[in-house]
Structure 1
């Protein structure tokens, strides 16, 4: 790989990594993050995947949690820690 190719590769990586780095920085600093519907569904599905007993919804709309559990039956009881 030439120096020019490496520089181009690093620039592509930086552009790809920037949104994730920004999100993590804002979360660490307690700054609210603006999200679209797809992002919110993703974040909420992460919460569902880590739930061990309850999923809470202020509007009592559990459609996303039900869909997530149907599509991911192994996640139905939350993620479990284990030792090999």
Structure 2
């Protein structure tokens, strides 16, 4: 079995829901690590494309770039299309 990483929240009754793909009666090791809210809200890329996009995002931020809001992104796309509306 390959290593599996999952992130979840602790419920009031302290129940953890494990993926159905885990084999029944499998011996597993669980490592608990409390995450900051920022880390908890940052998804982990699972594909090579996701990993590459994350690297590009981090490089952009390291060079002083900023992340655009959805509205700012729409405005930039409109500008690059010569001011044309989406519809």
TM-score (ref. length: structure 2): 0.28
More helix by share: 1
TM-score (ref. length: structure 1): 0.29
Using CA pairs under 8 Å that are at least 6 residues apart, name the structure with larger relative contact order, 1 or 2. 1
Larger Cα-atom Rg: 2
